[in-house]
Amino acid sequence: MLAFFKPGRFIRAFPWVLCAFLWLLTALQYAYLPAQIPTHFNFSGKADGYGSRNSIWILPLLLSIFLGIFSFLIHSYRKKQSLHDGNSSVTPKFHLLIRLLQLLSVSLGCLFLFLGIQTIRESKGMPVLSGALFVIIVQGLIWVPMAYFFYHYLKMKR
């Protein structure tokens, strides 16, 4: 059990755990959703686009596709890295790129789960996060992994 919590395994598995939770949440809440649900939120956090309740399945489906693409890229880069193991200048850059993709996977998992919860709450008339907080969370989930990448990349160049 403790082997799962090694940082490398955890960061690879965590986005898929979030994805599974989003699928489960969507399946459990689907029957209780109204016929029309919000599909888009403006910067103030208010719903400004609506669709049928079947559109709730887009979130877990898109997350699964994105995580599949990122997993494929990570696997491809790991294969490429194993071919270049003798070249020490290539290995740290590949490692950093793999870490960026892993962090973006975690961010996407959090973002899509957050959007799914917001959509379900809004469609049931429950209070949702304010627009400013929503924008801060979304921007943080996007820019924190990028800042991590650029910081370590520039540090590597020195």
Distance CA 110, CA 63 (A): 10
Residue 79: partners with Cβ closer than 8 Å, 6 or more residues away: none
pLDDT at 90 over 60: no
Over the stretch 18-58, which tens digit does the pLDDT of each residue have?
999 999 999 999 999 999 999 887 777 778 889 999 999 99
Over the stretch 121-149, which tens digit does the pLDDT of each residue have?
989 888 877 777 777 887 888 888 888 88
pLDDT at 113 over 90: yes
Q: pLDDT at position 85, please?
A: 57
Residue with the bigger pLDDT between 9 and 82: it is 9
Confidence of residue 158 (pLDDT cuts 50, 70, 90): low
Torsion sign (Cα): 82, 84, 85, 90 = negative
- Is the pTM value of this prediction over 0.85? no
Distance CA 84, CA 78 (A): 10
